[in-house]
Every structure is written in C-alpha cells, then in structure tokens.
Amino acid sequence: MRILQIGKYYPPAKGGMETVLAAITDGLLARGDEVDVLVAGEARRTTRRPLSAPGGGGGELVRCGVTATLASQPLMPDLAAELRRLLRRRPDVVTLHWPNPLAAAALLTFARGADAGRLTVWYHADITRQRLGGLLLRPLVRRLLDRCDGVAVSSASLRDQSPLLAPHAARTAVIPFGIDPAPWRVGTHPGRGPLLFVGRLVYYKGIEVLLEAVAHLPGAQLDIVGDGPLRARLAVRAAKPDLAGRVRLRGELDDGALRSVMSGAAGLVLPSLLRAETFGLVQLEAMAAGLPVVATRLPTGVAEVTVHGETGWIVTPGDPAALAAALAELLADPVEAARRGEAGRRRVDSRFHRDRMVAELADWYVRLMDRTGGGTRGL
C-alpha cells in the first residue's frame, strides 16, 4: 500500500500524537508499505527527507515551514502545495490525525479532485481546552467525519464518550495505541525510590493535586519530568515546608534520560483531571519498564490501560486524599508494587505492542480498500 499520514508534528517534537505517528510510520515501513508523512516543522523553511526501513518500504517526511502559531495551530504557507504534490502520488489511503484543523481544511479542499483512495481519520481527542475554538471548529470536524471512509480511535471510551463521534460509532474502529517495549525494558525496583510524573505541566494533568497528596506522605519523594506554563507555580508550591527538598522539577528529558529516571522510580503517577487526557501513552512506557501506575478514573482510555488491582491503582480524579492513600499502598509494599509492575509488562506485550497496533491498522486499511465503490465518500 501507499499511505499518506498527515499529522501536526513529528519527533523529536514531544507529545503523544507525535509518538504514535512515528510508531505507525515505522511499523508500516517495516511491513513494506510506502509511507509519506506531512507535518509542521520547527523552522520557517520546508524540509523533506527520505523515510525507509531495512528490507521494508520507503517514503518521505515533509516538515512544512511555520511562520507563526495561532491558538496552538501552526501556520504553514507551503501546506497546500506539499499536500497537492503528495496526493499526486495517488495514495491508497490517506490518514489525517485529528485535532489538526488547518490540515483538515486543506485536505477537504484538495483531495476532492485527486485520486486519493480512502480518506481516514485517526481521532485522537475532542478539542476541550479551547472551548470557543472547539465550537468554531465543529462544522469542520463534522464535515471531515461525514466525508471520510472510516474513523479510528485508541479506546472504546473515546468512541463512546465523544459527542462528535456518536453519529459515526458504527464505522469507528478501536485500535489501541502501542509502543515498541524493547527500549523501555530497564531494570526497575518498584515501590522504592521517588514517585514519578511525566507530562506537560498544565492544569488538566492534575499535578497540583499530586503535590497535595505527596504533602500528606512524610518522606515520600517526587520527580516531575516535563515543562509547561505551570512550572513556576509548581516550584513555589514545592518549596513550602511540607514539601521542601522532596520534589524535583527535572524539566524536559529525552527518552534515554527518561528511562534512566524510570529505573530509579517507585512508580508512575498520572493524576489527570479531565477527559482531555484521552489515553496517557506514558503509562505504556512505564508499564514496559515494569513500573506500577497510579492513574485516575476518567471516562477515557486512561482506565482501559491501567487495571486497578492488577497493573496499578485507579483513584477518583481531583481527590488528594484518595491519591495519597493509593501512593501510600504502593510505597508500603514493594513486593505488591513489583507484582503489578510485572503484570503491566505482560499487558503491554499482549495488548499494547506497536506491532499489534500496526497490524490492526493495516488490516483496517485493507478492509476499507476492499469495499466496493472506491474513492472517498463524496470528497
């Protein structure tokens, strides 16, 4: 197959969408597919580089030059021209990774007259943090979903809870995210060492609730990996007497440095508050490392990854006391923490492996291509 993936950014840019897009690309290339990827770059000039896998397929990674960013949307003057060029290669399948409004509008415009094969949408999340923007973009996403041939999501919860996906539930495929666990198989000592948080330092991640929980656990330590607008406020809170000397803000770390931190961690904490946290990919990385996870009971895929009592603990979001109680259990019983960590490793291997994700995605593509009629649904 020839496949065009349209994303927002691509590694080394950080983020769950970026990690998934790279995993899909690498996995499809390894299968022998031809894969082109179109994303925003990190400079003003558009760049192109070849993609390949040993003994597999090839393709091209196009990073469009960005002149400005408006409401988290990169503005790319070359987007339309690059999209038209890649569509002229007549891909069998085009996958747009949503949210990605500018690329969605361009695709709906320029795929109309192109032999673009099947148009699919990997729906990563509703737009919830920018309420006005989300309302203004509803006509665009409805048009996109109405006209595509199929939708993929990472969890049944996202499919069932999203109001925009409700009319399309029957043709929405659930394909859980997956990672290559091998790089994350580091030696760990669950239940011993500092607790670990990894993610953007933003409100919905619940880090302030986590600090309040740790404040109720004398002697407990916490490493916070990531950066974001709350960093200064978190630093002020961490310096107060009940937490002083027990919390380290470590900033952004590359994967190698993060694995080193995980090797000394007691467990991962994902205390998110809102359904903007649709999956929590870092859970898979921690589980592959053998760490138990403490996460929150959100109506999203988060609670489909960590299983309470089996691979970790699930608690009520926004409740420092409940979170503190779960963390106290983890730290008090390293044997049980190790048991849940090992169960997490097995769960990643059996359910959340990159190869399984890519195989399910490729099978879905084939089923869509086998449908009679060809082409997209009225683009």
pLDDT at residue number 114: 56
The number of C-alpha atoms within 13 Å of 284 and in the hemisphere containing its C-beta is: 26
Residues of 29-51 as b/e, b for ≥16 C-beta within 10 angstroms? bbbebbbbbbbbbeeeebeeeeb
pLDDT at residue number 364: 97
User: Which two structure tokens, joined as six digits, stand for 104?
Assistant: 């969605």
Question: Which three-class secondary structure state does DSSP give residue 21?
Answer: helix
Question: Which three-class secondary structure state does DSSP give residue 210?
Answer: helix
Q: How far does Cα 369 stand from its chain's mean position? A: 26
Contact in structure between 289 and 282 (CB atoms under 8 Å):
no
Residues 64 and 69: their CA atoms lie apart, in Å, by 13
Length of the chain: 379
Compute the Cα dihedral for 16, 18, 23, 24 and give only its sign. Answer: positive
Residue (of 363, 362, 198) closest to 287 by Cα position: 198
Q: How many CB atoms are closer than 10 A to CB 227?
A: 16
Q: What is the 3-state secondary structure (H, E, C) of 137-167?
A: HHHHHHHHHHHCCEEEECCHHHHHHCCCCHH
The kind and range of the H/E element at 192 are none
Report domain 2-178+354-370's class: alpha beta
Q: Quick check: do 2-178+354-370 and 182-351 share a fold?
A: yes
pLDDT at residue number 73: 87
First to last CA, the chain: 21
- Alpha carbon dihedral 49, 63, 258, 19, in 10-degree steps, equals -100
pLDDT at residue number 374: 43
pLDDT at residue number 378: 42
Contact in structure between 196 and 267 (CB atoms under 8 Å):
yes
Residues 147 and 167: their CA atoms lie apart, in Å, by 12
- Alpha carbon dihedral 307, 313, 316, 319, in 10-degree steps, equals -160
**pTM of the predicted model as reported, rounded to 2 decimal places:** 0.90
Residues 100 and 116: their CA atoms lie apart, in Å, by 19
CATH T-level assignment (fold) for domain 182-351: Rossmann fold (3.40.50)
Q: Domain map of the chain by residue range?
A: 2-178+354-370, 182-351
pLDDT in tens, the chain (379 residues): 999 999 999 999 988 899 999 999 999 999 999 999 999 999 999 999 999 998 888 999 999 999 998 878 899 999 999 999 999 999 999 999 999 999 999 999 987 655 668 999 999 998 765 554 456 788 999 999 999 999 999 999 999 989 999 999 999 999 999 999 999 999 999 999 999 999 999 999 999 999 999 999 999 999 999 999 999 999 999 999 999 999 999 999 999 999 999 999 999 999 999 888 989 999 999 999 999 999 999 988 998 999 999 999 999 999 999 999 999 999 999 999 999 999 999 999 999 999 999 999 999 999 999 875 444 444 4
